[in-house]
């Protein structure tokens, strides 16, 4: 169905694989377009409960943007290219269903930005993270200057952005950039394990949690107001009734997402 990505629903988990291993899964515009289409569909596809994004092969998650497409840009087209990346990565970040990046190698430039747009990140021991754009006379264009600060703090982010240094999986874990390290053969399995735990919770509450957390980082939104409003909406759901009833009755809740 797609030329540059694979998308397979595995028992409610949509595994999206960036499938350009000969190019180290670099994000060209065609790949971004396909990714946008798939993620957009996740919002309304009731057969999908969560998403894992990974890369084909053992060398790279996504080694960056496709620099060959950068030639001939001017200020206007450059802004358009960056804005398109922002729009797609916001779709991932604001997805009401949990999205986990399974980072199986290089996550550089746009690859690091893609991983950071996901809600959680697991990485193999050979993973490498970095934003090398200053080597090209550029800055990260898909949200890297903002999300890296959010995840690891201003001081560490500034050093990585200014030096273009890469960090390994252990450093990324210590910095808080990734949540877990798992052997490459177990990487997607680890991501599925986390998703399965999330799937036992109330789906509407999961979506409301995601919306509330990211409202904190949206300058146009009051995160506290978002939390209050989401809380108010949830108390009128069947899942709220089921969750509180199950708690009182000391049994496992059976949520329906309603």
Residue 71's pLDDT band, with cuts at 50, 70 and 90, is confident
Which residues neighbour 219 within 8 Å (Cβ) at sequence distance 6 or greater? none
**pLDDT score of 66 more than 90:** no
What percentage of the chain exceeds 90 in pLDDT? 96
Q: Judge contact between 153 and 174, C-beta under 8 A.
A: no
Task: Give me the percent of the chain exceeding a pLDDT of 70.
Answer: 100
Query: Does residue 67 have a pLDDT over 90?
Result: no
pTM above 0.85, yes or no: yes
Q: pLDDT band at residue 1, thresholds of 50, 70 and 90?
A: confident
Decide: residue 63, CB within 10 A, 0-12 exposed, 13-18 middle, 19+ buried: buried
Which of the two residues, 219 and 188, has the higher pLDDT score? 188
Instruction: Give 157-187 pLDDT, tens digit per residue.
Output: 999 999 999 999 999 999 999 999 999 999 9
Question: What is the side-by-side order of every strand in the sheet holding 60-62?
Answer: 60-62, 106-108, 128-130, 167-168
Residue positions annotated with a catalytic role: 113, 133
- Largest Cα span, the chain: 66
Cβ–Cβ < 8 Å for 88, 136: no
Nearest to 89 by CA among 62, 115, 56: 115
Angle of the 203-215 helix axis to the 238-249 helix axis, nearest 10: 110
Question: Mean per-residue pLDDT for 114-124?
Answer: 98
Superfamily of structural domain 5-199: 2-enoyl-CoA Hydratase; Chain A, domain 1 (3.90.226.10)
Residue-wise pLDDT for 10-29, tens only, equals: 999 999 999 999 999 999 99
| 203-215 helix and 223-234 helix, angle to the nearest 10 degrees | 170
Question: What pLDDT, on a 0 to 100 scale, did the predictor assign at position 221?
Answer: 92
Q: Could you state, in order of their start, the residue ranges of all structural domains in the chain?
A: 5-199, 203-249
Q: How many Cβ atoms are within 10 Å of 58's Cβ, its own excluded?
A: 12
Q: Which residues of 119-134 are buried (b: 16+ CB within 10 A; e: fewer)?
A: bbbbbbebbbbbbbbe
CA dist 242 and 201 (Å) reads: 11
What's the confidence (pLDDT) of residue 235?
96
pLDDT for 70 equals 87
C-beta of residue 140 within 8 angstroms of C-beta of residue 133: yes
Q: How far apart are CA 194 and CA 98, in angstroms?
A: 10
pLDDT (tens digit per residue) in 221-245: 999 999 999 999 999 999 999 999 9
């Amino acid at each position: 169905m797609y030329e540059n990505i694979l998308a397979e629903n595995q028992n409610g988990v949509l595994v999206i694989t960036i499938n350009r291993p000969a190019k180290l899964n670099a994000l060209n515009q065609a790949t971004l377009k396909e990714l946008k289409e798939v993620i957009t569909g996740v919002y309304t596809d009731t057969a999908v409960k969560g998403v894992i994004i990974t890369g084909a092969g053992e060398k790279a998650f996504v080694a960056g943007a496709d620099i060959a497409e950068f030639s001939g840009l001017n200020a206007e087209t450059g802004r358009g290219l960056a804005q398109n990346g922002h729009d797609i990565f916001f779709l991932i970040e604001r997805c009401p269903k949990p999205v986990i990046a399974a980072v199986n190698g290089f996550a550089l430039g746009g690859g690091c930005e893609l991983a950071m747009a996901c809600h959680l990140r697991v990485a193999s021991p050979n993973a490498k993270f970095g934003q090398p754009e200053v080597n090209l006379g550029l800055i990260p264009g898909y949200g890297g200057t903002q999300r890296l600060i959010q995840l690891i703090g201003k001081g560490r982010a500034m050093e990585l952005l200014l030096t273009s240094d890469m960090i390994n999986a252990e450093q990324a874990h210590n910095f808080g950039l990734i949540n877990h390290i798992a052997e490459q053969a177990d990487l997607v399995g680890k991501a599925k394990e986390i998703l399965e735990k999330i799937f036992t919770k109330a789906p509407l509450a999961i979506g409301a949690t995601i919306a509330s957390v990211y409202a904190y980082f949206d300058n146009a939104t009051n995160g506290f107001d978002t939390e209050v409003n989401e809380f108010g909406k949830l108390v009128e759901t069947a899942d709220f009734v089921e969750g509180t009833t199950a708690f009182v009755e000391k049994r496992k809740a059976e949520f329906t997402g309603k």
